[in-house]
């Protein structure tokens, strides 16, 4: 008979702030001008601040965050490569707004098209990439909406791949934060979002990043701006300091200055009040568990802890780790079988739970297995 043992222990992290203690005071919505905004920690998707975050609004060129996500996924899957040649169609060349003035039939590499889309927010380059991947912008937009549904972006409907004003083309600050968090999992994107100034066409076309925070904000890593008559001035800003990554989204600002000021203020609030801590597997877990009725007396166990969490700064934070593991398990045991769990919580709120699994395996003892064991022993003599 198996007797379950449950033990718990406390891991206490003391946050040293170089003599400066910040209070986790709330960020007032009166301090920002954006009618819709959010601050999210991208790994856990935890919302640290929000204001009308699910209000459906146009988002202009922030649409290109989803476009770039699908481009990066296409590259990772081998469907396209950075060296591929993209040929601009008549439709791509006809785009208005911000562009790099592609001509019908003009060719550029995928790498340069990404650079144009991310740095210069080129609408024509975005369409050219979409057509290169799916054959048509319409087909690509279908993929955008499928991906949005997959990510749980319930406030979003895409009608195009570049964010030009179009009836029914809407999203929300929350959904923008979700797709931004997904895009930055592809760290290669930072090679483009960190560019301040570059050129295309062998130096004939100069491009300058539309993200002015690259020059003014400590830790900024991206991500995308957008401006149209319907959307106003919008931004998804990503930044990282001391292991903490944040995504701040502002939609509908009246001016570019307000957009950058709001995004910076929201990021400042996050960095001043929160920190990110990686979880680790408890040492007390041990390396094996007893097996009853098995060919082996024990099997090895493991717990792959692959997550982290956000904690308020300025005070000692107590993390409770509860390990649930039986004294023994019954054979047969296969590699990967769940034998227990490790649960982390703070102030009674569960942060994450991970399975404890068998790393090795053993068969159940039966008459045939005993005969086989005896036979192998005789042969060895």
Which residues are catalytic, by number? Answer: 61, 64, 121
In sequence order, which ranges of 43-196 are alpha helices (DSSP H)?
A: 64-76, 90-93, 110-119, 123-134, 137-150, 173-183, 190-193
Read off the tokens for 369: 């297995």
CA dist 19 and 6 (Å) reads: 39
CA dist 214 and 260 (Å) reads: 10
Three-class DSSP category at 263: helix
Read off the tokens for 264: 């910076």
Distance in angstroms between the alpha carbons of the first and the last residue of the chain: 36
Cβ neighbours for 138, distance < 8 A, ≥ 6 positions apart: none
In the chain, count H helices and then E strands: 9, 18
DSSP annotation of 28 reads P
DSSP annotation of 210 reads S
Using alpha carbons, select from 181, 168, 180, 192 the residue that is nearest to residue 56: 168
CA dist 16 and 22 (Å) reads: 11
Phi, psi of 232 (to 5 degrees): 75, -155
CA dist 271 and 59 (Å) reads: 25
Tell the residue number behind the tokens 């490790």, with chain if given: 342
Per DSSP, what are the bridge partners of residue 6?
Answer: 324
CA dist 237 and 257 (Å) reads: 14
């Amino acid at each position: 008979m198996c007797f379950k043992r449950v033990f718990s222990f406390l891991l206490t992290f003391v946050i040293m702030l170089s003599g400066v203690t910040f209070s986790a005071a709330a960020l007032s919505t009166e301090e920002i001008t954006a009618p819709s905004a959010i601050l999210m920690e991208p790994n856990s998707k935890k919302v640290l601040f929000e204001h009308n975050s699910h209000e459906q609004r146009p988002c202009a060129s922030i649409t290109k965050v989803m476009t770039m996500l699908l481009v990066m996924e296409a590259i990772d899957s081998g469907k396209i490569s950075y060296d591929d040649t993209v040929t601009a169609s008549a439709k791509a060349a006809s785009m208005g707004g911000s562009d790099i003035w592609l001509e019908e039939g003009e060719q550029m590499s995928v790498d340069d098209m990404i650079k144009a889309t991310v740095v210069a927010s080129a609408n024509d380059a975005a369409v050219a990439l979409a057509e290169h991947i799916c054959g048509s912008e319409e087909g690509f937009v279908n993929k955008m909406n499928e991906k949005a549904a997959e990510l749980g972006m319930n406030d979003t409907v895409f009608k195009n791949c570049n964010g030009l004003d179009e009836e029914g083309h809407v999203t929300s600050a929350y959904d923008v934060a979700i797709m931004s968090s997904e895009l930055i999992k592809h760290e290669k994107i930072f090679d483009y979002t960190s560019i301040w100034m570059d050129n295309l066409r062998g130096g004939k076309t100069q491009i300058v990043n539309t993200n002015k925070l690259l020059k003014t904000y400590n830790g900024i890593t991206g991500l995308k701006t957008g401006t149209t008559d319907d959307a106003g001035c919008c931004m998804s800003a990503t930044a990282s300091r001391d292991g903490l990554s944040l995504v701040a989204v502002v939609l509908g600002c009246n001016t570019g200055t307000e957009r950058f000021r709001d995004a910076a203020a929201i990021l400042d609030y996050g960095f001043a009040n929160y920190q990110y801590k990686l979880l680790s597997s408890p040492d007390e877990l041990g390396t094996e568990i007893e097996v009853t009725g098995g060919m082996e007396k024990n099997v090895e166990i493991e717990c792959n802890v692959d997550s982290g969490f956000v904690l308020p700064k300025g005070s000692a934070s107590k993390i409770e780790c509860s390990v649930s593991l039986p004294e023994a398990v019954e054979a047969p045991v296969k590699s990967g079988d769940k034998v227990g769990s490790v649960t982390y919580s703070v102030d009674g709120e569960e942060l994450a739970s991970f399975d404890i699994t068998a790393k090795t395996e053993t068969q159940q003892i039966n008459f045939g297995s005993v005969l086989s064991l005896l036979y192998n022993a005789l042969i060895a003599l």
